Structure 1
């Protein structure tokens, strides 16, 4: 059983979960089912991943087969940019719950601190960065207003915990000044090429649990044709990571994951292979030395692979304000 982390609302969640990003629809239900059989209890999904119906099918089968009960699982989703207006927050969460076949979410994140123009659910779902034929349009919805609507979901019993994703320190501080419910979690890109040590230290001091995505650095973005990722040496074969892995008779993936969890950060790796599923889940079975942790910290290049600018296509880029 993986270590449990206590959120600032007293709820406990697994430190190691399964990330649903880029899990293909045709194999997603089976992947979720197999991950549950392997011992995973937290599943990190999102509206934007476009596979929540299949995630729900995998969960349904595992519950029907008696492997788990609903209360054993921590099911996560994220509010996409197109639904920041309060009138749309509950609307899309009802859609998420319907797709998953669930009565409540354990965690709901605000996916990005960006309010895009609303796109009707029956027009295009998930909408991605599409905001109508005129380009990438925005709505004048402050983050605090969207957050208040998310707080209402907690009071309504539709969501247990709420968090933020891809937020900077200044935005988090501003949110903390006026919120009724403090964020329970912050999810950020985090790997040895993007350590973000000061942000993490400050956020943890606020009682907010940090969750890492893309723990393997460029690996997640190579298949998305990211030139930055393709031009960056893979962490799996980095000499420093390989040396530390050999010292612990561990895989390089386990070293990358343990570096995060030993810094009290939650992780959400994924794999389609059973042996890798188990390997990732067991990555907290050893400890790195302080010297090894420091060596990995020193690989930092402040190099970010998840940049929304990269995902916007064609002429629409010309219409986007340069502050992005």
Structure 2
């Protein structure tokens, strides 16, 4: 298991292709690890000559002491980097609020970045790493190589798939999708559609939805909205809501897109759930404020935040994997 950053530091890459550690600096300066810690943190009980020798060795090796380690030594406030995918989607502010609340319980501050809107997500993560003690969030394929190295920052990834070399919180919608498909089949749905930002492939959320509905013996129509937004969802769903070939259920990629479908149904004079059942995914509070209220596959974001923060605080961020499952919440729309 990769060790937390406070044990090995988080320096720049050395000539051998790995990041310099506190042990490298100690060996180069001919001092103990504890002396390096004192020198780097400006603590007493060390001579000016020894401090200068340690700092010179650290500079030569490109060593950057981890903020996590400094926080443990000095008792300073610790910083948690939170990486989100698009703050225009209400799901991410809801998650951010949950993480901030949980982090505050442990005396951590949160620095938030939106990787989806960044011009260079990899550079954004590198800059974030220089400012925080640990990273949590939707990092996915954007993980820089240096985060995978021993001595790098603790990282907790969030997503449907979790990198086994990093660990994190796996968000499992499989059982809830199966329960939804069985419910719709039992309710008499015969012509369902799956509405996503793009055509479902062999995997991904829209692919799993289509496969689960097909397993219930229903021919599944797929609708590509082109974007994850209510407006795009409404425009894409409208042609499928009326006429002899109209669908009788729409399962959307997320709650925001499902709300767009509800709006399209109102404009088209289509009754929900009598003519068309509508389902979203995420469990956003907005779903309880519309009429009809939105059936959804809900994710407990407070549980996600609690588990993620506890992995960081407990030093188990690397390679530990926890699972949080969606649950089917039946409301008026289905």
TM-score (norm 1): 0.27
- Say which one has the larger Rg: 2
TM-score (norm 2): 0.26
Q: Which has the higher strand share?
A: 2
